[in-house]
Structure 1
Amino acid sequence: MAGLTWGKFMVGSVVVAAIAAGVGVWYTQERAFYAPVAVEDAKVEITSITSGKPEVILTENLTAIDSESSPIRYRACFTTPTSLALLTETYEVFDRAVPLVAPDTFDCFNAAAIGEALESEEAIAFMGEKHIEYGIDRIVAVYPDGRGFVWNQVNSCGKSAFSGNPLPLGCPLPPEKN
């Protein structure tokens, strides 16, 4: 009988440890590293066709989150009164946009829905800023009704540099590591 009690104790300990580990992983992915971006620090920029430089666009209801733990954790949701026609005539369209999943607590950002809208051309993606950090581009997607979304995405230079492969032509040299 003592062996049966010891066995239950061991199995129970493993189950409790597994649950604790699962909760810990969930917390670090969904809550631990994300923080709201202060309203005065939040803005949406899209790269101009004429100047090649990012320009701030008009936005309303802008909310954003970010994390210092990774350069690709930035997400934002906003609305803009600027028409999609004017945006496409003024700013650089980006055709390789792949929205990254946001934590469940940032419920205005649905990466799957945004991705489907981009695929069906219901929404249009723009280059926000190239190399916002080495190998990372900021992407902005806008729907015809003015809803917009922003995220950071690894670019081809980053994919090569981060995996240790030779850089594609036209890529700047990566910064020296400490």
Structure 2
Amino acid sequence: MSGKIMAIFFAALLLLGGAGLYYLQVYYYYREVPAAEIPTAMTLVGADGQPVSIPVSGFKGIYSVSTPIGNRACFTTTPAEAAAAEPYDKPTPLGAPSWFGCFDYGQITDDIESGAAKAYLGQKNIAPKIDNVIAVYPDGRAYEWRQPNEEAEEKRTID
């Protein structure tokens, strides 16, 4: 009888631990960007190295309190203005929590690969070995994320 009680105890402990870990990964470490911090414009790196400003509207964003690569955003902009920015080599949108529904990283990846969207460098080394990347569609939809850059890939580390 005590063996069954121990097994039930450990099973319950595993379920609680798993639920806690899931909550931490999907909800706890993410925050929505407060209304006071929503940008009206963003700066990209121009093809000539000079800053290129693009307008931003309809911004929805999240950030992570535990990692610099946890930022994601969805907004609209003017594609013609973004076209003056430096294209980003090897854009790889990272996944977002399921509750942040506007950011479908699989679709964004497919659209960049097919040419339906173009990725641009928002800022090089926004954090050590992390670049800010923005993908823009011809209809003005735009998505922002951060990803490890080539230096992190070479060394397989992020400081």
TM-score calculated relative to the size of structure 2? 0.89
Work out the CA distance in 2 between the residues paired with 1:75 and 1:98: 13
Aligned to 1:58: 55
The offset of 1:39, in angstroms, is 3.3
Structure 1 residue 147: Cα displacement: 0.9
1:40 is displaced (CA, Å) by 3.7
Shift of 1:115: 0.7
Tell me the residue number matched to 1:37: 33
Instruction: Trace 1:1-178 onto structure 2 (pairs within 5 A).
Output: 5-43=1-39, 44-50=42-48, 52-80=49-77, 82-83=78-79, 85-88=80-83, 90-161=84-155, 163=157
How many aligned positions are there?
A: 157
* Runs of 4+ deviating beyond 6 Å: none
SS in 2 for 1:57: strand
Larger radius of gyration: 1
SS at match of 2:119: strand
SS in 2 for 1:76: strand
| Offset of residue 87 of structure 1 | 2.5
The Cα of 1:162 is off from its aligned counterpart by 5.3
Structure 1 vs Structure 2 CA RMSD: 1.9
For residues 123 and 152 of structure 1, what CA distance do their matches in structure 2 show?
A: 17
Q: Report % sequence identity.
A: 34
CA distance in 2, matches of 1:91, 1:158: 23
Question: SS where residue 10 of structure 1 aligns?
Answer: helix
Q: 1:73 to 1:38 in 2, by over 3 A?
A: same
- Secondary structure, counterpart of 1:103 in structure 2: coil
CA pair 72-20 structure 1, distance change in 2 beyond 3 A: same
Q: Distance in 2 between matches of 1:23 and 1:34?
A: 17
- The two structures have a TM-score, normalised by structure 1, of 0.81
Q: Which is richer in strand?
A: 2
Contact 1:77 1:148 in 2 (8 A): yes
Q: Within 2, Cα distance between the matches of 1:48 and 1:163? A: 28
Conserved? CA contact 1:46–1:56, under 8 Å:
yes
